[in-house]
Amino acid sequence: MKKIFFLIFLISTFYSIAFCDENSEIFYQALISLPKDKRPSVGLALSGGGARAFAHVGIIEVLKYASFPIDYAAGTSMGAAVGAFYCAGLENEKLWEFGEKMKERKVGKDFSNAKIIKLMLSGSFIDPFYIRQFADSELKDKKFSDLKIPFACVAMDINTGEKIVFTKGELALAVKASVNLPGIFEPIPYGSKSLVDGGVVEFLPVEPLKDMKADWIVSSVTEAKIASAPKNVVSALMQVIDIRGGLLAKQSKKESDFIFSPEVSDISVSDFNKSTQAAERALIYGASKIDSLKEAYTVYSVKKIFENKVKE
């Protein structure tokens, strides 16, 4: 009993002094210097959103600058692509080059008017040539086991509606499946399954992080603003996916411990010419939230460590 009262005294003393400006950074630095098994593990969830989701690059840069620990990551759709590069250990400038390369490789051409007309007239799927080319050239022969941070990405079997979570095997295949828009791009064969974009079943992949045993979850969410009626079949399908994603994200956000929501809702799924603009906005926004993130994680960690000590 004396031990419990002493621990309560310590924790109350911590709260009274820790978050004075001069002390908060000291506590935070002490916390993140601990080995992973001595502090709560952190998972990073990266939502879908097409070109909007490049905002994750700005958030990741803020996290890196603050030396904020990320022990696990999970991504859906374009969040899977950004997450794969991040977990592979790419430097910040390489992540920004990712957005520039998407423009150079004309990924947006997979949504060109000519391809939309083909979809409408023939009823056949659009071939996402530029997206496939980009994933194959950048991820090459990488496997999940090659990554520096454990990573998961989400796809869906369109035959059954089953959620497919990749955590091992060929990385390029998993990313291509996760960004493969249903009803627009041809499903990717995977054994007896036919895989499409995971955003239909899990727009913000918090659950895979829990399965990976992350204690504390940071989410980066890039939802759409539905402001007008769709102009063609493709934009209608993408708007439906955006609406579905927003509905799914509501529950996932409730299960997150901290949420970054940069304002990029005006950027469409297919507007990859604005991908770096999305990241720039997120960088400014993320910088304004980083102190709140560090404080929230430190408070949670002290509470968790205290609870563990009481159980001993």
Catalytic one among 47, 71, 77, 242? 77
- 197 given a catalytic annotation: yes
Packing angle of the helix pair 2-18, 275-311 (nearest 10 deg): 150
Least Cα distance to 298 among 238, 247, 259, 258 occurs for 258
- Residue partners of 10: CB distance under 8 A and separation at least 6: 306
Catalytic one among 71, 110, 157, 197? 197
Asked if residues 190 and 24 have their Cβ atoms less than 8 Å apart, the reply is: no
Give me the residues paired with residue 42 across strands. 216
Active site residues: 77, 197
